Structure 1
Amino acid sequence: MQSLTQFKFAKEYWVFLAPILFILIDIATGFLNAWKEQKVMSCRLRNGLVKKCGELFCIAIGEILTYALGLPRYIVYGIAGYVILMEIVSNIENIAKMGVPIPAFISKALSQASDDFANADYATVKKDLDSAWDEIRRLKEEEK
């Protein structure tokens, strides 16, 4: 298992592209759910878009600080990873509202990780994510 300091994106442009793609999926799934429930509201969409832009600004600020101060790349990777994790949790919630069954261990692990990140409990986040990956590996082995 890699440590957080060894974590890196396959290509540098993925630091921005991956969060943008997850944000776009979140916007689309959120809009579809609101449309399905006949609760499309421009103020909620506007507020959501402002929040998404704020997330991207955090990554941009991390990039600037990384280059300007010569800080390690894993700092901006951590910021981007946090944004991606938040968006994945939101995407899974939206997809579940669409009626797609999500395995309980996945939604539980992601929800718990999101709560732990919000409370800055990174050791618990790492433990929970490691546990989720172990479960995924175990399920893959069972398939073989």
Structure 2
Amino acid sequence: MKQMLVKIAVVGIGGTITAYFNALLVPVVLLAAVMVMDYISGIISAWKDGCLNSRIGVVGIVKKVCYLLAIGVAIVTDLVISQALAKIGVDFTSSYLFGIIVTIWFVVNELISILENVNKIGVPLPPFLIKVIKKLKDTVENTNIQEEK
């Protein structure tokens, strides 16, 4: 009975979060997948180079946790802007704009890192793939959000 209640609670909380953050669900799940792939490919690359180090591995995990913190800040920024605009009567229909942009930017960075790790391991990569990933990064970095000067 206790296990059933825990399962119901987890599913309920998970369902609520999924419904609330529906726009971010796919990018965040994708980010989680590429973070795991990057970590594994980094370990293999370091092992192959003979420089496998647990301290560097922990730093890698901390870095990935900080990615999630940055996404959280972006989501809070989206919510604050949305609430502020609603208070002054402006309808802001684009939800989680910053959250999605930041998440995709991290996904692209992770993809680049995976390609670098795979290349260090000795896997030949097609040049077009590297160009496409770098173009994605440039596109995400050059979105139409004006930078403060």
- Tell me, yes or no, whether TM beats 0.5: yes
- Fraction of identical pairs, as percent: 22
- Partners of 1:37 and 1:117 in 2: how far apart? 33
TM-score by length of 2: 0.63
RMSD between superposed Cα atoms in Å: 2.6
User: Which of these two proteins has the greater Rg computed from alpha carbons?
Assistant: 2
Instruction: Pick 1 or 2: higher relative contact order, CA cutoff 8 A, min separation 6.
Output: 2
Task: Show the counterpart of 1:43.
Answer: 55
1:29 corresponds, among 9, 25, 41, to: 41
Task: Show the counterpart of 2:7.
Answer: none
TM-score by length of 1: 0.65
Preserved contact between residue 119 and residue 125 of structure 2 (Cα < 8 Å): yes
Task: Show the counterpart of 1:81.
Answer: 104
Task: Show the counterpart of 1:128.
Answer: none
Number of paired residues? 112
Preserved contact between residue 37 and residue 114 of structure 2 (Cα < 8 Å): yes
- Partners of 2:102 and 2:115 in 1: how far apart? 20
- Pairing 1:1-144 to 2, within 5 Å after superposition: 12-70=24-82, 72=94, 73-111=96-134, 114=137, 116=138, 122=142
Task: Show the counterpart of 2:18.
Answer: none
- Partners of 1:85 and 1:79 in 2: how far apart? 10
> Deviation string for 1:65-101 (max 9, x for gaps)?
2234327322211111100010000011111122221
Q: Could you say if the C-alpha distance between residues 61 and 23 of structure 1 is closer, same or farther in structure 2, counting changes exceeding 3 Å?
A: same
Give SS of 1:12's match. Answer: helix
Task: Show the counterpart of 2:9.
Answer: none
Structure 2 residues not aligned, in runs of 5+: 1-21, 83-91, 144-149
Give SS of 2:122's match. Answer: coil
The amino acid that maps onto 2:56 is: R
